Structure 1
C-alpha cells in the first residue's frame, strides 16, 4: 500500500484530498496544526486503519516514520482574513514549511506536489493567465505575505528538483469551492453563500466588474491527482476558465437562494485583482484534464450542503479563529 503525507490535511482542500487518496487505496497521513483547519473535515476517516492524523506544525521539523511515496504540501492559510491576521505564520509555512517537506522528500525518496496559487500572478496584466506569465505582485502590500510565500515556495521546490533531483510537481490553484469551505473567510464565494444563508445583503467590492473563475472541488482534486502521477515538473494551472464578473455571480447566488437579498458595494481592498481566469491549455494537453462540473451544478451541491448543516456547524464555519 503506497503511503502519502498530506499537510494541511484538515483544511478544505486537504480533507478532500484525504478522501480521494483513501478511495484510491493509499495509506494517508494527514498533518495539520489546526490553526485554520478543522478536525470535523476528517473525523469520518479516523476509524479507518489506513488513515493517521498528526497534529503538527510543518514549519517545525517533520518526522514521519516508515516509507513515504508521496507528499502533498497544502498547509497554508489561504483566505485574506487569515493571512492578514497571521502574516508571519503564512510566510513561515511557505518557506520553512516547504523546506521541511522537501527535506523529508529527499530523505524518503518521495515525490512532492506543492499547492501554489493563481495569486502568484498578482493583479495580472496578461489575460487569461498562462503558466509562462511571471505576474504583477506587490511584495510589500497586504497580500504580499501570501503571494510571495507561494512564489518562494515554487522557487524552493524547483531548486530541490534541479539541485537534489527530488521529484516535484507544482499546481497553481484558481478559485475553488464546494462542501467544507469556511464561510466568510474574505473570499467572494464563501462570503456570498454565508450572507445568503443568513438572509443578509451580499457585499461586493467596487462596482463588481472584476472577474473570477470558479472550479468545483471534485474537478480540482482530479486535476491534482493526475498532475501528481504525471511526469511534468513545471507549474500547471488547475481551475475552471468559465469567467464571470462578481456582480453577475452575486446575482446568480441571489437567484439560487430564492431570497430578496440585494447586492451592496464596499470599497475595493488594496491590490484586489481585477481579473482572474486560468489558461488550462497545459492541463488539457499534459494531463487530459478539464473541469466537468458546471457552476450551476456545483453551486447547487454546495448550497444544499450548507443548508443541511446544523446552526452550530454553520457558526463554526463562519467563526474566525482567534490567533495569538
Structure 2
C-alpha cells in the first residue's frame, strides 16, 4: 500500500538516498530541506518523478501537510556545520522536533527521529548500549548538537506518553557514503578529499581515538526497517557498524585506496571530542533482524569514486 512520506533533511546524503529507496517501494515522497547542508544536486535526478515533491522549508517553522509517515533527518550533523550556527542547530533539533511531532499528532502519522550517538557524549561505557545515559558536557562547543538531540529524544518520548504519538527513535553512529558534502568536516570526507588532492591529511589528536563507520545503504535499510515495526517498538535503537577503527587506521586506509602520497599531520584534539565510539547493536539485530553488510574498505572505494567524480567535474556521479 502506497504511503505519503515526509522526509525532512531530504536533500542530504542520507535523506536523498532514503527518498530513492522509498520511491522504489511505490510511495509518494515529500522532501523538505532548507539547503543548509543538503544540496539540490543530491535530488535533481528525482525532480521529474511523478511521486516526488520537493519543498524548500526550515523545520523550525511549522509545516502543514497530509502525510502518513515522517522521517525527521533535518539537522547539520558534522561539527563544522553545527558549530557554525549553534543557535540554529539547537532550534532545528528542538523546535524542529516539536513541529514534526505536532504534525504527526494532527495526521495520526508515525514519526521517526534520527537521533545520534552523540547523545552518549565522550562515553565512559564501551561499547555503547541504549541503556547508557551518556557523558555530555552541557555547556561545551558541541552541546548545541549533543544536547539538542538529547532534548529531541525527550520530546519524542513525552509526546508518545502524553499524546500517544506513534514514534520511532534510532541513534545513528558515524555514517559515510556517496553524496556526503565534500566540505562537511567529517573525518571520512576530510581524509578522502585531502588524499585525492595530495594534501596533508590532518588528524586532530594522536589518532588513537576510535570510531565505527556504517555505509549509507546499510544505515538507510535499518531506518526503513525501524519505521516498519509495530507500535510496540519505539526505541531508542542503535544503528551503526560495530567494527571499530582508530582514526589513524582510517587515514592509512584512505591513503592506500587512493594511491595518494599524502602525509599525516597531527593537531590538538578538539574540546569534548570522544575518545571511543562503537555501538552495541544487539537490539537492532533482535528487533530489526538487521546488521551492516558493507565492509569499510568496500564502502570507502565507492565513496572515493564519488568524490573523485566531483573533483573531475563529473555530474552524473552525483546521481550515481
Name the TM-score, length of structure 1 as normaliser.
0.94
Q: Deviation above 4 Å: which 4+ runs of structure 1?
A: 310-314
Between the aligned partners of 2:184 and 2:239, the Cα distance in structure 1 is 22
SS at match of 2:153: helix
**Residue in 2 aligned with 1:241?**
242
**Residue in 2 aligned with 1:208?**
207
Which structure 2 residue ranges, 5 or more long, are not aligned? none
2:24 maps to 1:23: yes
2:147 maps to 1:133: no
Encode CA deviations 1:174-213: one digit per residue, 9 max, x unaligned.
Answer: 0000000012322211110111121111111111000001
**Residue in 2 aligned with 1:320?**
none
**Residue in 1 aligned with 2:252?**
251
Between the aligned partners of 1:171 and 1:299, the Cα distance in structure 2 is 24
SS at match of 2:310: coil
**Residue in 2 aligned with 1:70?**
69
Give the deviation of 1:16 after TM superposition: 1.1
**Residue in 1 aligned with 2:61?**
60
SS at match of 2:59: coil
Give the deviation of 1:311 after TM superposition: 4.4
2:150 maps to 1:170: no
Assess if the C-alpha contact under 8 Å between 2:32 and 2:55 holds in 1. Answer: yes
Q: 1:32-43 counterparts in 2 under 5 A?
A: 32-43=33-44
Between the aligned partners of 1:32 and 1:185, the Cα distance in structure 2 is 16
**Residue in 1 aligned with 2:183?**
184
Between the aligned partners of 1:122 and 1:81, the Cα distance in structure 2 is 17
Which structure 1 residue ranges, 5 or more long, are not aligned? 318-324
**Residue in 2 aligned with 1:219?**
218
SS at match of 1:308: helix
Encode CA deviations 1:266-290: one digit per residue, 9 max, x unaligned.
Answer: 1110000000000000000000000
SS at match of 1:196: helix
Q: 1:120-159 counterparts in 2 under 5 A?
A: 120-159=119-158
Give the deviation of 1:312 after TM superposition: 5.1
Between the aligned partners of 1:71 and 1:207, the Cα distance in structure 2 is 41
Give the deviation of 1:128 after TM superposition: 0.3
Name the TM-score, length of structure 2 as normaliser.
0.96
C-alpha change, 1:134 and 1:299, in structure 2 (3 Å) is: same
SS at match of 2:31: strand
Between the aligned partners of 2:187 and 2:304, the Cα distance in structure 1 is 14
- Once the two structures are overlaid, the 10-residue window that deviates more, 187-196 or 114-123, is 187-196
Assess if the C-alpha contact under 8 Å between 2:94 and 2:152 holds in 1. Answer: yes
RMSD, matched Cα? 1.3
Give the deviation of 1:310 after TM superposition: 4.8
**Residue in 2 aligned with 1:300?**
301
Between the aligned partners of 2:276 and 2:142, the Cα distance in structure 1 is 16
Give the deviation of 1:313 after TM superposition: 7.0
